[in-house]
Amino acid sequence: MNFWSACFYRLCRYALIGPALHLIGRPKISGREHIPRRGPVIIAANHLAVLDSFYLTLAARRQITFLAKGEYFDKAGIAGGFQRSFFSAMGQIPVDRRGGSHASPALAAATRIIEQGGAWGIHPEGTRSPDGRLYRGKTGAVRVALETGVPIVPVAITGTRPDRSISWWRRQVTVEILEPLDMESFLDAGSQGVRAATDTLMLAIAVRTGQEYVDTYARARENPTGPQCSASGIGGGRQD
């Protein structure tokens, strides 16, 4: 994290975005002790709404780097330039996130974040849940955790999904940071271990959020009204 990125992050957290998040979501945060204040860590959360990554960073008390889809950095014009500057200043890294053979650059970028002692944030579902249920996780987070030996911390988020039946001032966002996933039993199990560890990660989150678990991948929205969050899952191919 360079000097300007750190300054912009603090400006957003304490002056521009953080206070607004507290106002609209009145977040209830628990388990902060499970995320180290320094050193490499992978933080994996469910994905209900665009604001999930913002509340995740707010809860972590440190800057989290997400892998932003490359389209965020390619748009032309003034709006595109502002968007590109915003994501760059926040420490986001553009990658091709289509999965399969395209996942390698994303995995390499995530590994660099870890090697530099950073916190990598990811939503293993790969896209926002289309119906509020929890979908099958992609294996990228677990693969990086197993290859680097860093802890992977599950996070259960509720209350961010838009619900017109509840007035905005009555809503409350809950961010529950769980204990790091025990990876020891999966170390020597190859691709089956990667899949099993990813399923264990998602089920741990499902237990805390109360979401129904769906053992299929979520499909990205067609013609979405808003941008997909930059913290999507990565990983594909036969291991998924």
User: CATH number for the domain including 103?
Assistant: 3.40.1130.10
pLDDT surpassing 90 at residue 73 = no
Looking at the chain, the whole-number percentage of residues with pLDDT higher than 90 is 57
Q: Which residue has the higher pLDDT, 211 or 237?
A: 211
What distance in Å separates the CA atoms of residue 197 and residue 212, rounded to the nearest whole number? 19
What distance in Å separates the CA atoms of residue 174 and residue 46, rounded to the nearest whole number? 12
User: Structure tokens of 114?
Assistant: 């870890």
Task: Using pLDDT thresholds of 50, 70 and 90, give the confidence band for residue 76.
Answer: confident
Domain count, the chain: 1
**Interval 30-66: pLDDT, tens:** 999 999 999 999 999 999 998 999 999 999 989 999 8
What distance in Å separates the CA atoms of residue 185 and residue 140, rounded to the nearest whole number? 18
**Interval 200-235: pLDDT, tens:** 999 999 999 999 999 999 986 544 433 344 445 665
What is the radius of gyration, based on Cα positions, of the chain? 17
The model carries a pTM of 0.85
Look at residues 147, 115, 121, 146 and name the one whose alpha carbon lies nearest to residue 40: 115
**Interval 180-199: pLDDT, tens:** 999 999 999 999 999 999 99
Task: Using pLDDT thresholds of 50, 70 and 90, give the confidence band for residue 80.
Answer: confident
For 18, 132, 165, the CA distances from 27, given in Å and listed in that order, are: 11, 19, 19
End-to-end alpha-carbon separation of the chain, Å?
A: 31
Residue 58's domain comprises 3-239
